[in-house]
Structure 1
Amino acid sequence: MKALRRFIVRPQLPDQLAPLGGLIRNLRWSWHSPSQDLFTDIDPELWQRLEGDPVKLLGAVSKDRLEQLAADPAFLERMHALDADLQAYLTAPRWYQQQTQLAGAQGAGELPAGIAYFSMEFGITEVLPNYSGGLGILAGDHLKSASDLGLPLVGVGLLYRFGYFWQSLSADGWQTEHYPAHDPQGLPLELVRAADGSELTVSVPMPGGREMTARIWRADVGRVPLLLLDTDIEANDDELRHTTDKLYGGDQNHRIKQELLLGIGGVRAVQAFNELNGRAPAEVFHMNEGHAGFLGLTRMRELHAERGLSWGEALAAVRAGTVFTTHTPVPAGIDRFPTDLVRHYFDPDEQGNSRLLPGLPVADMLALGAEDDPDRFNMAHMGFRTAQRANGVAKLHGAVSREMFADLYPGFDTAEVPIGSVTNGVHLPTWAAREMYQVAGDMSGWQDLASADEWPYADRVDNERIWTLRNTLRSRLVQMARRVVKKSWLQRGATEVELGWTDTVLDPEILTIGFARRVSTYKRLTLMLRDPERLKRILLDPERPVQMVIAGKAHPADDGGKRFMQEMVRFADDPEIRHRILFLPDYDMGMASVLCAGADVWLNNPIRPQEASGTSGMKAALNGVLNLSISDGWWDELYDGRDGWTIPTSGVADENRRDDLEAAALYDLVESRVVPLFYDRQDGRPDGWLDMIRHTLSYLGPRVQATRMVRDYVQGYYGPAARAVHAFGPDLAGTKEFAAWQHAVRAAWPQVRVMHVDTSGVGQDPSLGNVMTVRAYLDLAGLTEKDVLVQVVTGTVDGNEELSDTALVDMTYVGNGDGHRFQADVPLERSGPIGYTVRVVPANPHLASVAEMGLVTTASADAQPR
């Protein structure tokens, strides 16, 4: 008999155990080992069976056991000590508060009093299954590290009733998706309530006079509140109720409703939450990918309605305080909606203004997402156009992004495209095994690991200790893999009597390579299978064997990814090698923590440069795992020759030949360098291998942390964004002046020209060391010399007179005469064919980049010397 309804009954804790509720409600326990130990001791068997979920634990533990704990002085003492520790963590000044005081003392400008961080998914813990992969894990680590550093940050996302799918395999190795429903009452969440006790809700207008209403759930991630919007409420009709059903599910109509809710509803949720809790309003808004791009529009609408700002004024104000992070190195990964679909939801009235965001002109809103295809609205383009500061997630990815989006800034060299980079990081307490966290403390001298820039004491950790830990972590992986592979075969239709072999798969003593990530084309799951016989020989070598543990999920709609996975599963099913290579289904945070720690080598072989960052290798590195990777993402900048191995890239255009060459290079590295180093033993230990581990930990440890990443955002993005907002003044008078200036510059720019250019000082035979004096005479079309920056551009020149490897020298205004006159002395510092020209760009203190307005005038061939 099936239940008509289901609900969660939460236990009533004895008064003596009241602090236990607070320890469970704050998700700091997910990275705080002493809290986890306390929960384990409530009922060790239940804790293991419920996979470390304290909410479920309290729902399952007996009343007698709770009363027993309430009378246990030792347990109560530990609980109160942990409660006091949590309160100190939540309230004591941390790195951010120190930086705020330092900035004030140095007159460097204020840091933001409030930051709002928007993401489509957040991976905090497997207990809160609101993520699919790397983007969500990165967002979760961002929140945890922001908490550790003391940032006044609020996270904003959606609560998915079915989350992402859990994965199983069919008998023939095909991925099967399952979507179990998650009851919010059984998750570590609390409803946000208004002052009168009612549910706090936000609404987003829909076409046809409907309203999409969402209630707000709160998860406490240490010091950081995470707000999750949920449309599964009676106020919505069936269609709108399903808006937050699945992460990355449904068609484009479903997806755009999710993104409207995240962007527009999310801003309203942050504002209501901050006001309700007496928090400072958010000054900086951070979009983690383009999914939240509509947040800029709703903020513009508020400035228009409440401050009377025009479209241009509101856009300038919003841009100043907005940061946009792109994670997408390929155009296919960008959200692009049909323009007519976006226009439908903007819902224009007879005057062409939006009913969704009253007062804003639909044509101008659509222009923010415009691209070459007029039938497509590009969310990344809107992100760049509504954020004054943008970044990729590794240095190489920043360079790729500058090239990818160069068309948004015509006339500027790719290097000048205003997209920087902040290399991703991972949260050390979450991803380092407990034993390795202790090693990190010893290597850092037990500094505050959230803000330590270096771990200078690597020699304090001897080889024996490292080797013992690595053997322990590898053994844990083997035990976990045996359980998972047996469960998977049972799901695929095998019987218990057939599966005795699963008890002995893998060997805790031999070299173990890990590979786990989202299964998509560019990540090349099956590159290792290009020469299957050679791979078999590597795995089955009788003297120096190798084993591999592989995991990952393909998007439900990605049949190509599923075929790659099926090919790998079928290879691993071969009885000849199935004890040496395993595919583990249903990869999640729990599995990742064991796999990333237990492997000896972490393999990553994407198509360069299509890996934006690739943070799984960072998690592995924090556990002393050596990376074996294509030079892409974070590895491109942090590989130093002693922290692992780089797989050579071929550079050939033919995809099959490229993959053959790079697979062969992978096999060669494993056979000639990785395997010998691991099995070269002195006194039973591979000391050469252990020296690389020690260097990896001490060198990469402080560099791959998310706390380093968040500090980079504070110093390079959040701080400058806050100062840009403050520069406009509390009444936004500066915004109006800046917008008026922009309007005047745009109107005048078509007539701005360089009339004449002449030079002196180099004679008939220029040589190194000469100084060339360049003079330019400009028609500024009514603008003043303060409105522009005039520069000499020099560089190597080719047969088509194109400049490359350019350098810029700013010119000085030297007075009027025949046009505005500018001059600069340019030293000749390189030989060969050198060319030069003069360019003009807008200049204003409120601009973050010379390319920001996309305006540049360059001297043309008719700008002859006087």
Structure 2
Amino acid sequence: MKAIRRFTVRPVLPEPLRPLCDLARNLRWSWHTETQELFRSIEPQAAARTQSPDAGAAGDARWPEECDPVRLLGAVSAGRLDELARDEPFLRRLAGVSRDLRDYLEQPRWYQEQLGRGAGLPAAVAYFSPEFGVTAALPQYSGGLGILAGDHLKAASDLGVPLIGVGLLYRHGYFRQSLSRDGWQQEHYPVLDPNELPLTLLREHDGTPARVVLTLPGSRSLHAQIWQARVGRVPLLMLDSGVEENAPGEREVTDRLYGGGSEHRLLQEMLLGIGGVRAVRTYCRLTGHPAPEVFHTNEGHAGFLGLERIRELSGTGLGLDAATETVRAGTVFTTHTPVPAGIDRFERELVARHFGDDGELPGVPAERVLDLGTESYPGGDPGVFNMAVMGLRLAQRANGVSTLHGSVSREMFAGLWPGFDAAEVPITSVTNGVHAPTWVAPEVFGLRGRHRAAPGRWDSAAAIPDRELWELRRSLRARLVTEVRERLRASWLTRGAAPAELGWIDGVLDPDVLTIGFARRVPSYKRLTLMLRDRERLSALLLHPDRPVQIVVAGKAHPADDGGKRLVRELVRFSDDPRVRHRVVFLPDYGMAMAQRLYPGCDVWLNNPLRPLEACGTSGMKAALNGCLNLSVRDGWWDEWYEPDFGWAIPTADGPVLDEERRDDLEAAALYALIEDRIAPRFYDRGEEGLPERWIEMVRRTLGVLGPKVLAGRMVGEYVERLYGPAARAGRALDAGAARRLADWKAKVRAAWPQVAVDHVEAGASTAADGPAELGATLTLRVRVTLGELVPGDVEVQAVAGRVDAADGISGAQVFPLKPAGGQDLEGRWLYEGPLALDRTGPYGYTVRVLPAHPLLASGAEMGLVALPPQTASGDGAADVPLR
């Protein structure tokens, strides 16, 4: 019989157990082992029945480690609670864990130390993301972007960074994945009741739920309530449109992550950006939290937050242009995609309709909104509104998520800064990191602790004896084998198999066989099935009589991506083959809970994307922190930190002459060769004590040398020092008067720029030597420029020099500022002079240019304006552009 209505009955805890509520509601338990163990000890059988929403197949209760404390407290009997309330050892343990949480929340940390040193850091930062992967108990993520956002919040909490997370609460989350009998992906969208999640509703002082409201076309409104999650010290605000004030269509705005058509996605992003700013303001008003000085947009989905802040400021009489400058100064934009197809783009008419006279943001004209998202560069589509373009235009500071991705992003968005080489496009990079307490197996931490590792130190791996390290690796592998068998059995039962035909699962995988893991989303560029290019060769590797290999694969294709679903089915069908099914496994419903077992249990983590389409790829980082070696194409973070001590680099078949099929054949062959000739022999090559000594040394180096680089604490520290701090200082410098003056100055410069020109360049050697220039010589440059209505204080004149190629393109450029050398000549031109040191041999060249200059510009390229000389040259030492 099915209930017609569902609601949550909360337990009433005895007074001695009240601290359990605080422990359960703060998601620090998701990465704090002592808190997890405390809850598991309450009633192990209840823990096994209250697994998190992505813990396994529906109704399956085999992973008590993933128990959700909020659900657990609702499942424990009153008798057991009374018993615990009289259990002195339990109460002492509870008091200790509660005290530890209180100390964690209240004691000053790294950020407070920096503030004490006068570092000029922001009072608070608002961090916006469309998804957050904090814990399996709060399934509001689809993949790497959300997991990264969750790790960002956790690391910020550990460091004491006063961050406020802002996202949406999706009533159906992403989706749950199962397989049909023939291996086709099936999607399921279970309803999530916020009252059963580790959330609390933000309320006004009178007890009514706090609300934000957006105006929609046709005299409609979109209402949203605000749920809070506590991620250690960091509040995470999640907007939920499932409220009675909304019409049925508006209630569905936050139904599921990355679902629906264009208008549905647009409304989600308006609610995230505009509603998110309003939610932050409401939260700060109600709690007294410091107002954010910096707003961080994690990908373009939240880009509308800049428009809401412009509306706020322009309403104070500041004016749109000055408000825009203020907003830009305090905004950080992080791009996560290396391909234009990964960016949200909407029809201009759709956006205009929602920001028109009867839409959102009164006081901000719709045309002004549209201009911010226009692809006004060669190859751009004038009919679309580009969220990443708007994000870049409304942020003075932007970054990619690895060094290589920063370079790719500068190339991809170079059209927004015409006249500048891609290397000068003002997009930097902060390489992602991962939150070690979330992803490192407790056994790994325990082994380090037994060898007296200081907190936060990873170099202790050097002190761990080979045998202990190897036994740890085997025990983690054995635990993974058990987990895989249980999950595989559940999957086959869901696919319609009878228990009697599943006896073979007891022989799947072997705890002593080299284990390779591959788990991630399944877009085509990640190449889930590259390993299947030569199935006979792969089968030979799997079934090798002396050096066998086993592979565990997991991943979800987007529900609308039939191509990705075909890849999943292809892999599943291969893994169903009785000849190899004991050596290769596909596990459905990949999520955080599964990942936390996969990373520690694998020996090698495989990643074979199309280079350079992997922005960062943090799964390999999580594996590395557990002593798993990486086998990857040199893309994302692996391109930056690969060393032979940490794993293997798969050679890539780059070049425009290769078609896709040929490229995949070559790279798959290289993958097989690495496994057969180098990886498997090293794993199975045992020394006198029966240990793979060279393999163990690679594990040790991965833990001790690579480990510190991939930590989320390092990442968040870089954001604070390189982006948040400068953004806060830039925002403080722009009081109302300064903002107006900067806006007026920019308007003046843009209007005058067509008259700015480099008219004449001449170079004289400072040495008496004739003939070719010699290393160490210095040229004296004299440049005459026309500035029109501008004056020297408005510009900077530079020489740009370096080696040149056959087409006279400058590489490895160095910039040399030139100084004014007198007033205007009779023709109204200004003279600039300066030395140019010849510090390189070989073909060498230079050019000169004029850029806008102002103390409040973050870079000379910020405005996208540059004046270059005409491309002509003469051989008499005086030229428009001396090329060599």
Report the TM range for the smaller structure's normalisation. over 0.9
Q: How does 1:382-393 map to 2 (within 5 A)?
A: 382-393=390-401
Partner of 1:784: 791
1:811 aligns with 2:811: no
1:445 aligns with 2:453: yes
Following superposition, the deviation at residue 737 of structure 1 comes to: 1.1
Partner of 1:92: 107
Partner of 2:761: 757
- Aligned with 1:216: secondary structure? strand
1:321 aligns with 2:327: no
Contact 1:443 1:459 in 2 (8 A): no
TM-score by length of 2: 0.94
Partner of 1:593: 596
Q: Which of 667, 678, 686 in structure 2 is aligned with 1:681?
A: 686
Contact 2:355 2:365 in 1 (8 A): no
1:272 aligns with 2:286: no
- Aligned with 1:156: secondary structure? strand
The AA in structure 2 aligned to 1:37 is E
- Aligned with 2:360: secondary structure? coil
Following superposition, the deviation at residue 22 of structure 1 comes to: 0.5
1:232 aligns with 2:242: yes
Rounded Cα–Cα distance in structure 2 between residues aligned with 1:734 and 1:277: 31
Q: Which deviates more from structure 2 when the two are superposed, residues 765-774 or residues 37-46?
A: 765-774
Following superposition, the deviation at residue 769 of structure 1 comes to: 2.1
Q: Which of 737, 759, 776 in structure 2 is aligned with 1:769?
A: 776
Partner of 2:844: 834
Following superposition, the deviation at residue 50 of structure 1 comes to: 1.9
- Provide closer, same or farther for how the CA distance between residues 830 and 444 of structure 1 changes in structure 2, counting only shifts above 3 A: farther
Contact 2:519 2:554 in 1 (8 A): yes
Partner of 2:747: 743
Partner of 2:526: 523
Partner of 1:408: 416
Following superposition, the deviation at residue 86 of structure 1 comes to: 0.5
Partner of 2:88: 73
Rounded Cα–Cα distance in structure 2 between residues aligned with 1:404 and 1:806: 20
Following superposition, the deviation at residue 331 of structure 1 comes to: 1.0
Rounded Cα–Cα distance in structure 2 between residues aligned with 1:691 and 1:733: 61
Partner of 1:728: 734
Contact 2:462 2:704 in 1 (8 A): no
1:553 aligns with 2:556: yes
1:718 aligns with 2:724: yes
- Provide closer, same or farther for how the CA distance between residues 440 and 310 of structure 1 changes in structure 2, counting only shifts above 3 A: farther
Rounded Cα–Cα distance in structure 1 between residues aligned with 2:451 and 2:404: 29
Partner of 1:629: 632
1:50 aligns with 2:50: yes
Rounded Cα–Cα distance in structure 1 between residues aligned with 2:360 and 2:307: 10
- Aligned with 2:45: secondary structure? helix
Contact 2:448 2:464 in 1 (8 A): no
Following superposition, the deviation at residue 4 of structure 1 comes to: 1.6
Contact 1:426 1:615 in 2 (8 A): yes
Rounded Cα–Cα distance in structure 2 between residues aligned with 1:441 and 1:853: 52
1:467 aligns with 2:470: yes
Following superposition, the deviation at residue 441 of structure 1 comes to: 4.9
Q: Deviations over 1:32-72 (max 9, x none)?
A: 00001110110112212322111111111100000000000
1:181 aligns with 2:191: yes
Following superposition, the deviation at residue 782 of structure 1 comes to: 2.3
- Aligned with 1:796: secondary structure? strand
Contact 1:426 1:619 in 2 (8 A): yes
- Aligned with 1:569: secondary structure? helix
Q: Which deviates more from structure 2 when the two are superposed, residues 683-692 or residues 293-302?
A: 683-692
Following superposition, the deviation at residue 860 of structure 1 comes to: 1.6
The AA in structure 2 aligned to 1:334 is I
Rounded Cα–Cα distance in structure 2 between residues aligned with 1:56 and 1:779: 72
- Aligned with 2:251: secondary structure? helix
Following superposition, the deviation at residue 800 of structure 1 comes to: 4.3
- Aligned with 2:649: secondary structure? strand
Following superposition, the deviation at residue 863 of structure 1 comes to: 9.2
Contact 1:300 1:318 in 2 (8 A): yes
Q: How does 1:565-576 map to 2 (within 5 A)?
A: 565-576=568-579
Partner of 1:638: 641
1:210 aligns with 2:220: yes
Rounded Cα–Cα distance in structure 2 between residues aligned with 1:803 and 1:515: 42
Partner of 1:352: none
TM-score by length of 1: 0.96
Q: Deviations over 1:203-257 (max 9, x none)?
A: 1111112110100000000000000000000000000000000000111110000
1:363 aligns with 2:367: yes
Identity over aligned residues, as a percent?
58
Q: Which of 510, 518, 537 in structure 1 is aligned with 2:540?
A: 537
- Provide closer, same or farther for how the CA distance between residues 784 and 181 of structure 1 changes in structure 2, counting only shifts above 3 A: same
Contact 2:179 2:185 in 1 (8 A): yes
Contact 1:162 1:179 in 2 (8 A): yes
Following superposition, the deviation at residue 835 of structure 1 comes to: 2.5
Rounded Cα–Cα distance in structure 1 between residues aligned with 2:197 and 2:776: 70
1:172 aligns with 2:182: yes
- Aligned with 2:557: secondary structure? coil
Following superposition, the deviation at residue 440 of structure 1 comes to: 4.7
Rounded Cα–Cα distance in structure 2 between residues aligned with 1:204 and 1:574: 54
Rounded Cα–Cα distance in structure 1 between residues aligned with 2:393 and 2:531: 41
- Provide closer, same or farther for how the CA distance between residues 809 and 543 of structure 1 changes in structure 2, counting only shifts above 3 A: same
Following superposition, the deviation at residue 795 of structure 1 comes to: 3.0
The AA in structure 2 aligned to 1:770 is A
Rounded Cα–Cα distance in structure 1 between residues aligned with 2:399 and 2:441: 31
- Provide closer, same or farther for how the CA distance between residues 17 and 747 of structure 1 changes in structure 2, counting only shifts above 3 A: same
Contact 1:444 1:456 in 2 (8 A): no
Q: Which deviates more from structure 2 when the two are superposed, residues 216-225 or residues 735-744?
A: 735-744
- Aligned with 1:858: secondary structure? coil
Q: Deviations over 1:398-437 (max 9, x none)?
A: 0010001111111001100011101011100000000112
Partner of 1:7: 7
Partner of 1:343: 352
Q: Which deviates more from structure 2 when the two are superposed, residues 658-667 or residues 732-741?
A: 732-741
Rounded Cα–Cα distance in structure 2 between residues aligned with 1:577 and 1:526: 16
Rounded Cα–Cα distance in structure 2 between residues aligned with 1:679 and 1:863: 65
- Aligned with 2:541: secondary structure? helix
Following superposition, the deviation at residue 27 of structure 1 comes to: 0.5
1:28 aligns with 2:28: yes
- Provide closer, same or farther for how the CA distance between residues 708 and 268 of structure 1 changes in structure 2, counting only shifts above 3 A: same
Q: Deviations over 1:782-803 (max 9, x none)?
A: 2221211111122334454443
Q: Deviations over 1:365-403 (max 9, x none)?
A: 101111121111100101100000000000000001000
Q: Deviations over 1:116-138 (max 9, x none)?
A: 00000000111111111111100
Following superposition, the deviation at residue 459 of structure 1 comes to: 2.2
The AA in structure 1 aligned to 2:395 is A
- Provide closer, same or farther for how the CA distance between residues 300 and 685 of structure 1 changes in structure 2, counting only shifts above 3 A: same
Q: Which deviates more from structure 2 when the two are superposed, residues 812-821 or residues 596-605?
A: 812-821
Following superposition, the deviation at residue 160 of structure 1 comes to: 0.5
- Aligned with 2:3: secondary structure? coil
Partner of 2:63: none
Contact 1:443 1:698 in 2 (8 A): no
Q: Which of 254, 262, 271 in structure 1 is aligned with 2:272?
A: 262
Q: Return 5+ residue gaps in structure 1 as ranges.
A: 350-354
Rounded Cα–Cα distance in structure 1 between residues aligned with 2:617 and 2:3: 44
Rounded Cα–Cα distance in structure 2 between residues aligned with 1:378 and 1:348: 22
Q: Which deviates more from structure 2 when the two are superposed, residues 820-829 or residues 7-16?
A: 820-829
Rounded Cα–Cα distance in structure 2 between residues aligned with 1:679 and 1:291: 48
The AA in structure 2 aligned to 1:811 is L
Q: Which deviates more from structure 2 when the two are superposed, residues 92-101 or residues 825-834?
A: 825-834
Rounded Cα–Cα distance in structure 2 between residues aligned with 1:98 and 1:18: 33
Following superposition, the deviation at residue 442 of structure 1 comes to: 6.5
- Provide closer, same or farther for how the CA distance between residues 58 and 546 of structure 1 changes in structure 2, counting only shifts above 3 A: same
